[in-house]
Structures are given as C-alpha cells and as structure tokens.
Amino acid sequence: MVSGEHKLIHKNGNERWVELSMSTRFTEIGELDAIIAVIYDITEQHYLHNQLVQTQKMETIGTMAGG
C-alpha cells in the first residue's frame, strides 16, 4: 500500500490538498488484477492544522517575550 499527502494545483491556480491511498490486488497466480486508489480532499484539515501551528508559534513567542 502506498499513501501520502499531496498538493494539487488546478489550472485556474486553486490549490487542493489530498490524501492518496493506493493498493494493488493480484490473482492467485500472481498477475496484477486491480489497482485500487482512494483520494480524500483534506484541504480544510490542512488549512486548520497550519493555523494551529501558527497560533502555537505566536503563543511561544509571547511567552518568551513576557519573561
């Protein structure tokens, strides 16, 4: 199984983040029977994660500056 997050860029310039999972299926004699792929749009989760990381960085800077 292969999986991972990937950024896709539409021809109009819009970015979308997807999680891709791919797997293969073989027959009893070992021949490739199918390639199975599932793609989830995780753009919103990616955006929210980045916001959380940025907020945590700002909190750390505030704590360090405040003593």
Q: What are phi and psi of 56, to 5 degrees?
A: -65, -40
Query: What pTM value is reported for the model?
Result: 0.65
Give 33: exposed, middle or buried? Use CB within 10 Å, 0-12, 13-18, 19+. exposed
How far apart are the C-alpha atoms of 7 and 5, rounded to whole Å?
7
How far apart are the C-alpha atoms of 11 and 56, rounded to whole Å?
34
pLDDT tens-digit series, residues 3-19 = 899 999 999 999 999 99
pLDDT tens series, the chain, 67 aa: 778 999 999 999 999 999 999 999 999 999 999 999 999 999 999 999 999 999 998 888 888 887 6
Domain ranges of the chain: 2-66
**CATH code, residues 2-66:** 3.30.450.20
Got the DSSP string for 22-60? Answer: EEEEE-TTS-EEEEEEEEEE-HHHHHHHHHHHHHHHHHH
